[in-house]
Amino acid sequence: MTEFVVVIPARFASTRLPGKALLDIHGKPMLQHVWERGTESGASEVIIATDDERIADAAESFGATVCMTGDQHRSGSERIAEVADLLDWPDDRVVVNLQGDEPGMPASLLDQCAALLDDTAVDIATLASPFLAREDFENPNCVKVICDVRGHAIYFSRAAIPYPRDTGSKERAAGAALHHHGIYAYRCGVLRELVAAAPSDLEVCEQLEQLRALSLGMTIAVGVPPVRPGTGIDTPDDLERAQREMAG
């Protein structure tokens, strides 16, 4: 498998859960759990990228390597692109973007995502699983992805896609979509091209950055993991659920 690095973009500000990167989960800040998942993977290096000294101090206290970035970034991809430039990474360097609010992301899934880039025709890799419940399929906070027969993304949406035209096709519709997980792998050259481009109309409409990549004609490979990641944390309810999941 191609060598890869993991970068964890982390910010202190969060509209729904301020300071969530440092919230306690079983005696450790959430960010430490995320970093530990990264160090358990096959990555050659794991870096936490932040613009906040509170996060940097906490990360260094548990032994993480920190890269300080600017505070202007609108996305984790932009923050990681700055890291790539600051550290002068070549265009063919493979980076896994492990979001700082995913403490339940198994390390093996980082390896799986990075391995999808062994196919040189793939620009970006990500993961998605079958939906467990119709409520999730209909929830706009659960991002849906539709793939072609090669496992490449056709479209991502917050809407329940594909739309069932009749009652009998509702189950088939839910089964055709996958529940997208917040993890990406890309080569630095692709990342630089992505962040240099203006947001596409589709991206602005759905507020999904991956739609910019599709609008640029990039190929996104979607892998189905053998195990589901734990809960990503955006709200207090998510935090309580993650604490229960990680109790064992």
pLDDT at 248 over 70: no
* Average pLDDT value over all residues in the chain: 91
Average pLDDT of 194-208? 95
DSSP codes joined into one string, 1-30 = ---EEEEEE--S--SSSTTGGG-EETTEEH
23 pLDDT more than 90 = no
pLDDT at 210: 96
Residues with Cβ within 8 Å of residue 124, at least 6 apart in sequence: 184, 185, 186, 190, 194, 210, 213, 218, 219, 220, 221
Which DSSP helix (H) or strand (E) runs through 75?
none
Nearest one of 25, 29, 36 to 240, comparing CA atoms? 25
Instruction: Tell me the pLDDT tens digit for each residue of 135-148.
Output: 888 888 889 999 99
pLDDT in tens, 30-54: 899 999 999 999 999 999 999 999 9
Q: Which residues pair with 95 in a beta bridge?
A: 5, 186
The model's pLDDT over 167-185, given as tens digits with 9 standing for 90+, comes to 666 667 667 899 999 899 9
Is 164 within 8 Å of 173 (Cβ atoms)? yes
With tokens 């990500």, the residue in question is: 126
pLDDT of residue 46: 97
* DSSP-based three-state secondary structure for 43: coil
Q: Which of 107-111, 122-126, 237-241 has the lowest mean pLDDT?
A: 237-241
Which domains can be identified in the chain, with CATH numbers?
4-245 (3.90.550.10)
CA 176 to centroid of chain Cα atoms: 21
